[in-house]
Chains A and B, each alone.
Chain A
Amino acid sequence: MGTIPGAWDWLTTGANWTGTDGVLQRLGEHLALTSVSMAIACLVALPVAILLGHLGKGGALAVNLSNVGRAVPTFAILVLLVVATNSARYWPTVIALVLFAVPPLLTNTYVGMRQVDRDAVEAARGMGMTGGQLLARVELPLAAPFVMSGVRSAAVQVIATATLAAIPGEGGLGRIVTAGFAQFDTPKVVAGAVLVAAFALLVEGVFLLLQRLVSPARKSRPARRPARSTHQMEFT
């Protein structure tokens, strides 16, 4: 049987979806890993980047941090944490994913804050807005699309990268890939890869939908989608 029909068969076989190492279990693990990691990463990165962007300070730091972050292999961080804690459990993976997601989140959010029209900021200042009002009523609403697209691209990358958790033996969809690889079962590997890619694209779609719902004002204007900057791209 060919690889692609084989993968289709694997995906459409009900027995593969249930049980302790079934798709549903792995999908749940993957979702738990990535959502917790993204939530922590956002809690850490967004306030710092928004504050730095508001103050207009630390831009070089925010940008360089992302470059340094790219140089550090997530796989190495993951293994270092696994070896340091003597376990292949949940938290080493979450911490590795948070460290992976924070630098691009910081950079993209900072850049988004600085892309807010300076004239609008000046006008708000001229109207006597305090720093906090300026941030809450002008900068954040205007920067929101940029910030959201940064969060979206980080989420997609975190989902793809979370498969690495399977190497030290933690759960998630990566386990389907490593199991297929170990059993020389290529259709299973393909099925695992398809599941991860589908999950990532689904999340991307949900974020796009949220973005549209959250900013109804943008509908009336000609679509000015925030350009996905070339610097956002990250390997997984």
Chain B
Amino acid sequence: MAGQDCLAANEWICGEFVRTRSQELVDASVEHLWITAASVAAGVLLALPLALLARRWRAAATPVLGVTTVLYTIPSLALFSLLVPVFGISASVVVTGLTLYSLTILVRNFLAGLDAVPEDAREAARGMGYGPIRLLWEVELPLAMPAVMAGVRIATVATVSLTTVGSIIGYGGLGNLIKEGMQSFFKAEVLTASVICVVFALVADLLLLGVQRLLTPWARAAKAAG
């Protein structure tokens, strides 16, 4: 059988591998996707109050941005290892680590987006009797949306790719297969898992671009008019 041959010959591309291990590939993909989604979602939920805090009290902006910048000099390998004593060997370690990393991008972009809201728009909304929450929700956030979504897209793509490092504690989604394949020099396993991972990142980026278009219909109208 040609299919069996490619496994025996340890070829890079092997249909037989995909057929016989499809369940494993699906399980790893599901783990990969939920770890990524949970991390980015937690990152967005944390980044918004942090950005608002940094904007409200300018004195807080420097420490907030400083801490999130120092975070990215801590290697993922070390950060995951450091969180193990806190959570034990569990997916929480990877999700927490990835959330912290996503903050470096998200807080910066959220703050840039909020800073770019024209003061006139704020004044107009206040004049129309908008309270602070309604102002934020109906005026500032929609106007900050391009920068916010750019941040979410970068953070998501980076998180998809960084999830693989979670394999050092066994919660790396497709990274688990990459690491397993490394230990047994199993080419098809390494390549298949890597390719799926890249495809996930690119598809997620395109989906979020679609969401961004839906959320900012005026941007397209302006471009068409200009």
Give min CB distance, B193 to chain A, whole Å: 7
B182 touches A168 (CB 8 A): yes
Tally A-B pairs: CB < 8 A: 153
User: Smallest CB-CB separation from B166: which chain A residue?
Assistant: A75
Interface of A is mostly: helix
B59-86 interface code vs A (CB 8 A; 1 in, 0 out):
0000000000010111111110110110
B161-190 interface code vs A (CB 8 A; 1 in, 0 out):
110110110000001001101100111001
Number of contacting residues on B, CB 8 A?
A: 50
Asked whether B191 is an interface residue with its Cβ less than 8 Å from the other chain, the reply is yes
Interface of B is mostly: helix
Which segment, of B122-130, B133-141, B147-155, B212-220, faces chain A? B147-155
Contact A233 B78, CB 8 Å, known A76-B194, A79-B182, A160-B72: no
Q: Give the CA-CA distance A235 to B98 in the complex, in Å.
A: 9
Name the B residues within 8 Å of A115 (CB-CB).
none
Q: Give the CA-CA distance A70 to B151 in the complex, in Å.
A: 13
User: Smallest CB-CB separation from B204: which chain A residue?
Assistant: A71
Which segment, of A136-144, A194-202, A209-217, faces chain B? A194-202
Give min CB distance, B27 to chain A, whole Å: 18
Which residues in chain A, 210-236, are within 8 Å of chain B measured between CB atoms?
230-231, 233-236
Given B84, B101, B186, B198, which contacts A72 in the complex, CB threshold below 8 Å? B198
A79 touches B190 (CB 8 A): yes
Q: Give the CA-CA distance A196 to B77 in the complex, in Å.
A: 11
Contact A233 B157, CB 8 Å, known A167-B168, A193-B75, A201-B73: no
A residues adjacent to B (C-beta < 8 A)? 3, 67-68, 70-77, 79-80, 82-84, 86, 156-157, 159-161, 163-164, 166-168, 174, 177-178, 180-181, 186, 189-190, 192-193, 196-197, 200-201, 204, 230-231, 233-236
Which 4 residue pairs are nearest across A and B when measured between Cβ atoms? A193-B78, A71-B201, A76-B194, A163-B75
B residues adjacent to A (C-beta < 8 A)? 70, 72-79, 81-82, 84-85, 101, 104-105, 108-109, 112, 147, 150-151, 154, 157-162, 164-165, 167-168, 175, 178-179, 181-182, 185-187, 190-191, 193-194, 197-198, 201-202, 205
